Amino acid sequence: MSAADPVFRARRLGHVNLFVDDLDRSTRFYNSVCGLALEFRELGIRASFLGTGNTPHDVGMIETTKGHDRYGKDGHLQLPKEVGARVGLNHIAWEIDNEVELVEGYRRARSRNVPIMRLADHQVAHSIYLHDPDGNVVEFYVDTVREWRDVLHGDLDLITSVWNPEATSPFSDSRYDPDPPLRRVPEAPFHPRRLTHVVLATHNVRRLQAFYEEVAGLNTVHQSPDGNVLLMRGRYAAVPYHLGIVRAAPDGAVGLHHFSLELDEACSRQLPETHVERRVETAAKTSAFLKDPDGFRIELFTPKVGQRGADPATSIPIQFQI
């Protein structure tokens, strides 16, 4: 495989999906504290989907399986009990521009012996799932419906069935909304405008970089002199980067370090300090790092005047001093 001819060509980070211990508790936190609108719930698998309006969801969450298999719309085993048994990252998702590109990526993956773990039809998206070298689940998806709220809203039973990429001719038009109306939770202390990036910790920075270049199609936009921090971006250049990779301590945890939400405006009212792990300021932005009820770390940040879309290197201190 080669970074010059990657398997997929990710446009941007679409969402993160988490396994949480108590779905209702986590849904309340991301709605009332982080300011993400509850778009819909999938009751059949105990899942909630919340967002800013840029995509059908910026953050998805599924309650841990509690020792039970969970089945999808067509009766396929969507969530084996052992897969979602513990709190942790479920997957990170990368948006592909159109279905032609996604199917071409599927065919390249098969021809290059890249293992595919799952193919899914989510009614508003078609998805391909695989693992990165650290075992993180990675989704590559394409929006199939521009007006997704007409399809998914409120409380639903089951959404997902199996997708066959070869069943029909893929479409070549882009069906994401380039200028979506933003959702706002008026009473929340934060008003996010989009999910910008996710940071992964690893013991092998170079191996993870190679995967995200050669399989996901991301470009490395910054590397620290010691090689311990990499910043990578997809084809959507409106944000400085979509993925950070940081070297974990020898005895440190591997996997999700944090994910970041850019705010539409500064905090509208003071957040109780009990929610804030740390506040950090750099030349580029002002951030509050929070921890959710399960210990996932979230950065909520406001770019400083004239710094929206700034040089990625100006953001490094804020990302990795925790």
131-159: average pLDDT: 96
pLDDT band at 318 (very low <50, low <70, confident <90, very high): very low
Residues contacting 40, CB < 8 A, separation 6+ = 48, 49, 56, 152, 153, 154, 155, 156
CA 128 to chain centre: 14
pLDDT at 284 over 90: no
| pLDDT (0 to 100) of residue 231 | 95
Compute the average pLDDT of residues 212-240.
Answer: 95
By CB neighbour count within 10 A (0-12 exposed, 13-18 middle, 19+ buried), where does 149 fall?
middle
Give the angle 82-69-105 at the CA atoms, nearest 5°: 75
Q: pLDDT at residue 255 above 50?
A: yes
What mean pLDDT value characterizes the chain?
A: 91
Query: Which CATH superfamily, name and number, covers 192-320?
Result: 2,3-Dihydroxybiphenyl 1,2-Dioxygenase, domain 1 (3.10.180.10)
Which CATH number is associated with domain 12-147+155-162?
3.10.180.10
Residues 6+ apart with CB under 8 A from 111: none
Helix, strand, or coil here: 268? coil
Q: Which residues make beta-bridge pairs with 51?
A: 37
Q: CATH 3.10.180.10 in the chain, residues?
A: 12-147+155-162, 192-320
Compute the average pLDDT of residues 127-156: 96
Q: How far is CA 73 from CA 36, 59, 116, in A?
A: 26, 21, 20
Q: How confident is the model at residue 98 (pLDDT cuts 50, 70, 90)?
A: very high
* Residue 317 banded pLDDT, cuts 50, 70, 90: very low
Evaluate if residue 285 carries a pLDDT over 70: yes
**Residue 269: is its pLDDT beyond 70?**
no
